[in-house]
């Protein structure tokens, strides 16, 4: 005698902690990505929740005892008002030395969500700025950059939290060995300001990369 899935109908034995009866087959809470010989790849545990007439335990396919988590995806907020300001300045000290700066202010950092009745962040800071100096010389070219990012709220699916504040110093250096061969050095986050740039991501620290570049 079989149920709709083609599995035998047997009485449930008292195995496991979260077992209930469905069409005479034993079930318990689900796991992830289980390979079942008679059911291919499923997100369920294999459970021995049924007993045959001769007393043998029969494997079955487990199902969740609770509903899946509900995650709201990005939504259309309709007509919104956004405001901000971006200001930049570049000055040539000499033909070989340039200083540059930028300041950004974002006045709209969250929107009201009609579904959750809460305000959703836009995942961007209200204030951030950077400054850099670029130069060329007989011993190579360099760029020294400073970047500041203010503290701000982050929310994306199941990930939510606070990012920043953090300050980063980057150094880029290029030495021209020949007309066709360059040596490059990149020192990112030279001051080793340990931080995350998104919730759920890795902690960012100092990173130094050296490479040779050839052109033909």
Q: Which domain range does residue 92 map to?
A: 84-214
Residue 68 lies in a domain: no
pLDDT at 157: 74
Residues 185, 138 share a domain: yes
Q: How many domains is the chain partitioned into structurally?
A: 2
Q: What is the pTM of this model?
A: 0.61
pLDDT at 175: 95
Residues 147, 48 share a domain: no
Residues 95, 51 share a domain: no
Please list the rounded mean pLDDT of every run of 10 residues in the chain (216 residues).
43 36 42 48 54 69 53 68 92 94 92 80 92 94 96 85 94 93 95 90 92 91
Residues 187, 145 share a domain: yes
Residues 123, 54 share a domain: no
Residues 49, 99 share a domain: no
Evaluate the omega torsion of the peptide bond into residue 165 and state whether it is cis, within 30 degrees of 0.
yes
Residues 116, 53 share a domain: no
């Amino acid at each position: 005698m079989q149920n709709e899935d083609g599995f035998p109908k047997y009485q449930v034995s008292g195995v496991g902690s979260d077992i209930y009866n469905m069409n005479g087959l034993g079930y318990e809470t689900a796991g992830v990505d289980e390979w079942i010989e008679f059911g291919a790849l499923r997100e369920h545990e294999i459970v021995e929740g049924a007993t045959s007439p001769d007393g043998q335990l029969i494997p079955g396919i487990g199902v969740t005892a609770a509903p899946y988590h509900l995650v709201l995806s990005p939504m259309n907020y309709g007509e919104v008002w956004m405001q901000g300001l971006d200001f930049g300045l570049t000055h040539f000290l000499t033909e070989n030395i340039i200083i540059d700066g930028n300041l950004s202010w974002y006045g709209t950092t969250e929107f009201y969500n009609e579904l959750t009745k809460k305000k959703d962040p836009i995942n961007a800071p209200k204030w951030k700025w950077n400054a850099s100096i670029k130069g060329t010389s007989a011993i190579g070219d360099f760029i020294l950059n400073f970047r500041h990012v203010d503290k701000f709220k982050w929310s994306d699916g199941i990930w939510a939290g606070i990012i920043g504040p953090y300050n980063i110093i980057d150094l880029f250096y290029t030495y021209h060995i020949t007309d066709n061969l360059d040596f490059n050095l990149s020192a990112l986050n030279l001051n080793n300001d340990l931080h995350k740039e998104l919730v759920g991501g890795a902690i960012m620290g100092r990173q130094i990369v050296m490479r040779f570049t050839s052109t033909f």
